[in-house]
């Protein structure tokens, strides 16, 4: 889970921020607000997530709450730690690689039964209530809505790049969780077979 939080924070400073691409979910709005009002992103990120922990706790329990709190604290600390890392300017690589890395990192944290707070909590809660839809699908729909609202403050190029990155992040979540679940199941069968043998 710590690795996923580190990747999210590093990805923000290296690929997303330099190319004016908002990160997925609530983090995107908070990144935009922290830049616009000159507030520290890590502090804003942590403070706004507190009410969402209470929502997550009511639906998915204390374990999820504690792991989400750990994920949010780790992400906030890595955002502070990596804030001076130089970025890569390149809209295409920022959009494609930045989106996929965010999705993969979020999936790793979700597979550890936690989250980074924000929209992750909302998506997990909704996927429990409506299991027909995956976490990645909820993530894409909710994030698209968020970006369309904030699109009034972004240029067309940045808004389209953000939408593509969010779509790829949703796919990254689904792909990593799908293959991670299959790998876990295969490992469990292998260990069970070895114990019987």
Instruction: Report the C-alpha gap between 131 and 6 in whole angstroms.
Output: 29
- Does the structure show a pLDDT above 90 at 179? no
- Does the structure show a pLDDT above 90 at 184? no
Instruction: Report the C-alpha gap between 139 and 48 in whole angstroms.
Output: 18
What is the pLDDT, as a whole number, of residue 41? 85
**Is 0.85 surpassed by the pTM of this model?**
no
Confidence band (pLDDT; 50, 70, 90) for 193? low
pLDDT digits 0-9 by tens, 4-36: 999 999 999 999 999 989 887 778 888 888 888
Kindly state the percentage of the chain with pLDDT values over 70: 89
Confidence band (pLDDT; 50, 70, 90) for 194? low
Mean pLDDT over each residue of the chain, to the nearest integer? 83
pLDDT digits 0-9 by tens, 61-101: 778 778 888 888 888 899 999 999 999 999 999 999 999 99
What is the pLDDT, as a whole number, of residue 11? 95
pLDDT digits 0-9 by tens, 133-146: 887 788 778 777 76
Most confident by average pLDDT, 23-37, 46-60, 145-159, 164-178: 164-178
What is the pLDDT, as a whole number, of residue 92? 96
Query: How many CB atoms within 10 Å of residue 64?
Result: 19
């Amino acid at each position: 889970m710590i690795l996923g939080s580190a990747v999210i924070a590093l990805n923000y400073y290296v690929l997303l921020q330099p190319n004016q691409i908002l990160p997925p979910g609530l983090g995107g709005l908070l990144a935009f607000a922290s830049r616009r009002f000159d507030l520290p992103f890590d502090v804003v990120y942590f403070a706004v997530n507190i009410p969402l922990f209470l929502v997550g706790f009511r639906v998915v329990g204390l374990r999820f709450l504690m792991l989400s709190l750990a994920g949010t604290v780790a992400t906030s600390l890595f955002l502070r730690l990596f804030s001076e890392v130089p970025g890569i300017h390149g809209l295409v690589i920022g959009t494609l690689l930045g989106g996929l890395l965010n999705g993969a990192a979020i999936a790793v944290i979700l597979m550890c039964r936690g989250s980074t707070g924000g929209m992750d909590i909302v998506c997990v809660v909704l996927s429990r209530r409506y299991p027909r839809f995956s976490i990645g699908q909820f993530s894409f729909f909710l994030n698209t809505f968020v970006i369309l609202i904030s699109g009034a403050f972004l240029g067309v190029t940045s808004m389209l790049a953000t939408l593509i990155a969010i779509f790829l992040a949703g796919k990254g979540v689904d792909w990593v969780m799908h293959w991670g679940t299959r790998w876990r199941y295969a490992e469990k069968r292998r260990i069970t077979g070895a114990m019987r043998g």
